[in-house]
């Protein structure tokens, strides 16, 4: 490809880029993130009621362009304004979640489970474990919280121990794969 052809292709792509984006409206204030992850760096903000361009969606995240910045927001923070403008918010969520990879698990609320590949590639993250442990409270704090909320303890019997069946013919008690 010559330099002129490359430049022409780049120019056509740049001019056509707005045609690929769909209009959207922010339903709530949200942070623009560098990647489709809550742990990703914040690169900006998108205010409730602001008009945005929807560029892509991935799992429970939508990539948008807002106020000259591009980033990822939670799926339920933005509504598409393309097509029927009078549709309800839930219809917009359904429309955004329709075209998904068949291996992805997506809940109606827009939260995504992990597929088999993501589970296999999972790695231990000591920093995230420490961050999660910061949410822990002592037994005394939990009791005080429950009492402040008018909750009372209830005795519940233990479940019976599971019965162990003989292994299936393939050697796995659950039947294997």
* Model pLDDT for residues 123-140, shown as the tens digit of each residue: 888 988 888 888 899 999
Q: Which residue has the higher pLDDT, 36 or 6?
A: 36
- pLDDT confidence of residue 175: 58
Please provide the average confidence, as pLDDT, over all residues in the chain.
76
Backbone angles phi, psi at 77, to 5 degrees: -90, -10
Residue 26 vs residues 71, 94, 123, 155: alpha-carbon distances, Å = 13, 16, 34, 46
Calpha distance 110→26 (Å, rounded): 15
Q: pLDDT (tens digit, 9 = 90+) per residue, 20-76?
A: 568 899 999 999 999 999 899 999 999 999 999 999 988 889 999 998 999 999 988
How is residue 91 written in tokens? Answer: 């219809």
Q: What is the pLDDT of residue 104?
A: 52
Helix (H, G, I), strand (E, B) or coil at 112: strand
Q: What is the pLDDT of residue 29?
A: 93
- 21-122, which class in CATH? mainly beta
Judged against a pLDDT cut of 50, whether residue 11 lies above it is answered with: no
pLDDT computed for residue 21 by the predictor: 67
φ/ψ bin of 80: left (φ > 0), alpha (ψ from -120 to 50), beta (otherwise): beta
Under the banding of pLDDT at 50, 70 and 90, the label for residue 19 is very low
- Please state, in angstroms and rounded to a whole number, the distance separating the CA atoms of residues 64 and 51: 10
Place of tokens 């903000």: 45
Helix, strand, coil tally for the chain in percent (to 5) = 30, 20, 45
Residue 86 has pLDDT above 90, yes or no: no
Q: How far is CA 36 from CA 28, 50, 61, 68, 137, in A?
A: 17, 20, 6, 18, 30
Residue 166 or 30, more confident: 30
pLDDT of 85 above 90: no
pTM value is 0.41
Report pLDDT for 81.
83
């Amino acid at each position: 490809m010559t330099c002129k052809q490359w430049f022409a292709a780049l120019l056509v792509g740049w001019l056509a880029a707005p045609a690929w984006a769909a209009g959207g409206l922010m339903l709530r204030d949200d942070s623009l993130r560098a990647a489709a992850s809550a742990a990703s760096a914040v690169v900006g903000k998108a205010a409730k009621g602001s008009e945005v361009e929807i560029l892509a969606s991935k799992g429970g995240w939508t990539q948008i362009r807002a106020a000259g910045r591009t980033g990822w927001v939670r799926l339920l923070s933005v509504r598409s304004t393309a097509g029927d403008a009078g549709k309800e918010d839930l219809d917009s969520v359904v429309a955004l979640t329709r075209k998904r990879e068949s291996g992805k698990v997506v809940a109606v609320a827009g939260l995504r489970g992990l597929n088999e590949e993501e589970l296999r590639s999972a790695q231990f993250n000591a920093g995230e474990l420490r961050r999660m442990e910061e949410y822990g409270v002592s037994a005394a704090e939990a009791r005080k919280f429950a009492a402040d909320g008018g909750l009372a303890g209830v005795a519940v019997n233990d479940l019976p121990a599971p019965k162990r069946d003989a292994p299936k013919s393939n050697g796995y008690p659950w039947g294997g794969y």
